[in-house]
Amino acid sequence: MGIEQLLASLPKYYTDEDRETVKRAYELAALAHANQKRASGEPYINHCVAVAGILSDLFMSADAVSAGLLHDVVEDSHISLQEIREKFGSSTASLVDGVTKLKALPRVSRNDQDDDFFEEDDSDDETNLTMEQLSKRKKMLSHETLRKTMVAMNKDVRVIIIKLADRLHNMRTLSYTRPEKQRRIARETIEIYAPIANRIGIGEMKWELEDLSLYYLEPEKYKEIAAGLNERRAVRTQQMEKIKKRLEETLLDSGIKADVSGRPKHIYSIYKKMKSKERSFDQIMDVRGVRLLVEDKAACYATLGIIHSQWRPIPNEFDDYIAAPKENMYQSLHTAVMYEDNKPLEVQIRTHEMHQHAERGIAAHWRYKEGTRQRDQQYEEFLSALRNQLDIKNEDMNADEFVETMKNDVFDEHVYVFTPKGDIIDLPKGSTPIDFAYHVHTDVGHRCRGAKINGKLEPLNYVLKTGDRVVILTTKQGGPSRDWLNPSIGLVKTQRARAKIRVWLKKQARDHNLTQGRQMLEREFHRLGLDEVNLENLSHQLEYRNPDDMFVALGCGDLSLSRIVTLISDQKTPDDVIETSAPKSETSSSDAVAVRGLRGLLTQMAKCCNPTAGDPIVGYITRGRGATIHREDCPNILRASTNEKERLVRVSWGDASKTYPVPIRITAFDRQGLMGDISNLLNNEGVNITDVNVRVNHDSLKADIANIRLIVEVRDISQLSRVLNRIENLSNVLEAQRSRAG
């Protein structure tokens, strides 16, 4: 796209002055990038024009399109932000500043031990850095730039739209870069930028970013699905035309005029459904989808009634996002019916305005009247909710923690729960009462000691569900416990709550945190039976100057025990750290035999040929007894291959995984069901018990004490640590630790 094409594509509401502003921005960008080329060899200005074109297609304002043209000028040339402010005004300058990449790291993002290669004087000199240091520096710069952009978005949401347009064009031209860079950028795009596009409701951008990312991350899967779509295109188009015509006639007979279109199938969406539902491409593509656009909200519900009266609705497939919009302001009616050919038909019903919002998100909420920007109430409420979720200014976190907060707290699915007064609180899926308490107020979180859910007292690791009514029980004084940050216990889900807990813990004296951290680590090592751990090496591997700094970080919550245990587990084989009390065993995964396309099907070994692991095998579907597994050369199978070929299925042996028997000792106040709870917990963790010994000391003066000795089979030290943590969290359990030899 050249400048003439860009000017021709600008929205019709642009004034002559707006068009002149865009033209001047192009001239300055062309001058700044005059001698620069992209990886493809084309002039760099082409990228700037393409970004501006994407913004124009979203009907963005003249200052936003101008910022799109100038978005790399400050970063890549001698032109300053002040010069842009003087020539184009403060609005355009602020937008350009918001998307300009950082070249040097702010001090808040640097660890003291990295000063040797992050000093201000030589921050741009990368020649002396190792590959590991260079990779780390680029990642930190990327995260700091994202944080800078999101902070700027708090003032003007158009900053993030420009950033998305920039990323979209970069993804479209990613084929000219190195393969490792392609994968890194594609991973970042699908984890961060596509969810941002979804969060602000720009559906058309989200889908393209996801599809392009999949192309570089899973090229074979992408090509397989794309080829399947091409093969079916002609038949599917013919089929959808008949359905569209039938729907239009049915609605017109009832006096409703609707624009009916087939809903496009996006490659990444198909890939996700195949993976999550464990279905084949053919099974996913059997589901057809149509979209009906009608005049107003009343017509939406009238259309729904006609569809349901004409074809049988499929149970549990109706969603009303008009009455209860999604968090990104998406509105539509979703339903599914059994069509005349006895195959499912998914139907979306919305107004034309709702469709614009679904495709363009918050970009559709900008209105321009006589040169004055007007924003509607729904848009303002959405921005307010998004700012509250980010709560950027009040959080004491580095850039990496900020990005994790974005992934976990902003992009994840959400649940909606009620306060005692009936107010709705929006939380990430998997949140607990403590997350709820910190969302209400920091002090409520600090003093939280219990919770009533729907009038019933529940533990603090209870996972909140949509519709729950939550009452937090507080104490008059006190603060959070370090145990709240233990991921194995599952008391806190959101990074926002974790950050507030860490801030409180950091306010404690260094000596107190040092002592607490040392005791925590010594206790964990003692519990896991780890005696010979070099703390000096361990602290350096975790990027601390010495063990004392590591203890302080552990004591204030900046460092978790699980990270230390995982590091030890990753660096050593289980044989190095787990002294077993019995021979190691090879155990199959949950399914000894995997039946392709029929996961979970009951299987049994045929007695006629007695197949053993490693033999070529095939499955035979029986009547009422699942699949019988035979050797491929079994005479019965050879006969069936000619007479009952349709009952044969392809199967393979499950993967074998090595486990290590480890003795553990549990001390608890005896109660009914204690051993059952322990057994269920281990079963849920996929841990086998090979030996059990229970002894209860009866004492009339004290509560009965149960001493339980188990031998459990674990994969590694990380799983052992997680299991012991979860056992200690059971009611009445005093201690759970690994038994020492002798």
Residue 607 CA to residue 717 CA, distance in Å, equals 39
Is the Cβ–Cβ distance between 510 and 447 less than 8 Å? no
**What is the per-residue pLDDT for 688?**
87
Placement of tokens 């979804």 in the chain: 198
Is the Cβ–Cβ distance between 145 and 102 less than 8 Å? yes
Placement of tokens 């640590």 in the chain: 721
Tokens of 262: 């087939």
Give all strands (DSSP E) within 16-157, no chain letters: none
Q: Collapse the DSSP code of 385 into the 3-class scheme (helix H, G, I; strand E, B; otherwise coil) and give the result.
A: helix
- Mean pLDDT of the region 567-585: 56
Placement of tokens 């017509």 in the chain: 299
Residue 245 CA to residue 384 CA, distance in Å, equals 43
Mean pLDDT over each residue of the chain, to the nearest integer: 79
Is the Cβ–Cβ distance between 561 and 524 less than 8 Å? yes
**What is the per-residue pLDDT for 122?**
39
Tell me, what DSSP letter sits at residue 313? E
| Diameter over CA atoms, the chain | 94
Is the Cβ–Cβ distance between 97 and 152 less than 8 Å? yes
Is the Cβ–Cβ distance between 678 and 727 less than 8 Å? yes
**What is the per-residue pLDDT for 210?**
93
167-171, 444-448, 553-557, 692-696: the lowest-pLDDT one: 553-557
**What is the per-residue pLDDT for 617?**
83
Tokens of 355: 């469709």
Tokens of 630: 């035979």
Residue 228 CA to residue 222 CA, distance in Å, equals 10
- Mean pLDDT of the region 48-72: 91
Tell me, what DSSP letter sits at residue 469? B
**What is the per-residue pLDDT for 216?**
94
Whether the per-residue pLDDT at 126 is higher than 60: the answer is no
Q: Per-residue pLDDT tens for 449-463?
A: 999 999 999 999 899
Q: Collapse the DSSP code of 727 into the 3-class scheme (helix H, G, I; strand E, B; otherwise coil) and give the result.
A: helix
Residue 255 identity: G
Query: Count of alpha carbons within 13 Å of 546, Cβ hemisphere only?
Result: 2
Tokens of 105: 């790291």
**What is the per-residue pLDDT for 448?**
93
Residue 389 CA to residue 529 CA, distance in Å, equals 42
Tokens of 308: 């349901």
- Mean pLDDT of the region 50-78: 90
Strand partners of residue 344:
338
In this prediction, residue 379 has a pLDDT band, given cuts at 50, 70 and 90, of low
Helix H or strand E encompassing 120 = none
Q: Per-residue pLDDT tens for 72-97?
A: 998 888 899 899 999 999 999 988 98
Tokens of 633: 């050369």
Tokens of 313: 């609705």
Tokens of 737: 């630790």
Q: Per-residue pLDDT tens for 602-619?
A: 777 787 776 766 667 888
Residue 291 CA to residue 270 CA, distance in Å, equals 18
Q: Per-residue pLDDT tens for 138-180?
A: 666 666 766 666 666 667 778 888 989 999 999 999 998 888 8
Q: Collapse the DSSP code of 314 into the 3-class scheme (helix H, G, I; strand E, B; otherwise coil) and give the result.
A: coil
- Mean pLDDT of the region 582-605: 53
Which domains, from first to last, does the chain contain? 3-217 (1.10.3210.10), 233-362 (3.30.460.10), 412-506 (3.10.20.30), 510-571 (no CATH), 590-653 (no CATH), 659-738 (3.30.70.260)
**What is the per-residue pLDDT for 107?**
36
Helix axes 81-88, 16-32, angle to 10 degrees: 160
Strand partners of residue 288:
345
In this prediction, residue 323 has a pLDDT band, given cuts at 50, 70 and 90, of confident
Residue 23 CA to residue 513 CA, distance in Å, equals 60
Give all strands (DSSP E) within 157-302, no chain letters: 259-262, 288-294
In this prediction, residue 383 has a pLDDT band, given cuts at 50, 70 and 90, of low
Burial of 72 (0-12, 13-18, 19+ CB in 10 A): buried
Comparing CA positions, the residue from 457, 469, 502 lying closest to residue 484 is 502
Residue 409 identity: D
Buried b vs exposed e over 486-522: b needs ≥16 C-beta within 10 Å?
bebbbbbbbbbbbbbbbbebbeeeeeebbebbbebbe
Q: Collapse the DSSP code of 168 into the 3-class scheme (helix H, G, I; strand E, B; otherwise coil) and give the result.
A: helix
Strand partners of residue 689:
712
- Mean pLDDT of the region 336-342: 88
196-210, 379-393, 466-480, 563-577: the lowest-pLDDT one: 379-393
Q: Per-residue pLDDT tens for 7-18?
A: 898 888 889 999
Strand partners of residue 456:
453
Residue 206 CA to residue 363 CA, distance in Å, equals 13
Catalytic residues, which ones? 75-76
In this prediction, residue 533 has a pLDDT band, given cuts at 50, 70 and 90, of confident
Distance set, CA 449 to CA 10, 279, 426, 473, 508 (Å)? 58, 45, 21, 6, 20
Q: Count of CB atoms within 10 A of residue 601's CB?
A: 16
Tokens of 429: 């899926």
Q: Strand 627-631's sheet: what is its strand order?
A: 603-605, 627-631, 617-621, 648-649
Gap between the terminal Cα atoms of the chain: 78
Distance set, CA 220 to CA 215, 217, 227, 672 (Å)? 8, 9, 11, 55
Distance set, CA 711 to CA 340, 527, 580, 664 (Å)? 59, 15, 9, 6
Tell me, what DSSP letter sits at residue 408? I
**What is the per-residue pLDDT for 335?**
92
Task: Compute the CA torsion angle 477, 481, 484, 488 (nearest 10 deg).
Answer: -150
Tell me, what DSSP letter sits at residue 620? E
CA 484 to chain centre: 22
Distance set, CA 347 to CA 173, 246, 304, 542, 611 (Å)? 35, 13, 9, 52, 49
Own/partner pairs, 683-687, CB within 8 angstroms, 24+ separation: 685/719, 685/722, 685/723, 685/726, 686/590, 687/712, 687/713, 687/714, 687/719, 687/723
- What would the DSSP string read from start to end of 356-382? HHHHHGGGGGEEEETTEEEE-HHHHHH
Placement of tokens 């859910």 in the chain: 453
Placement of tokens 């591997």 in the chain: 541
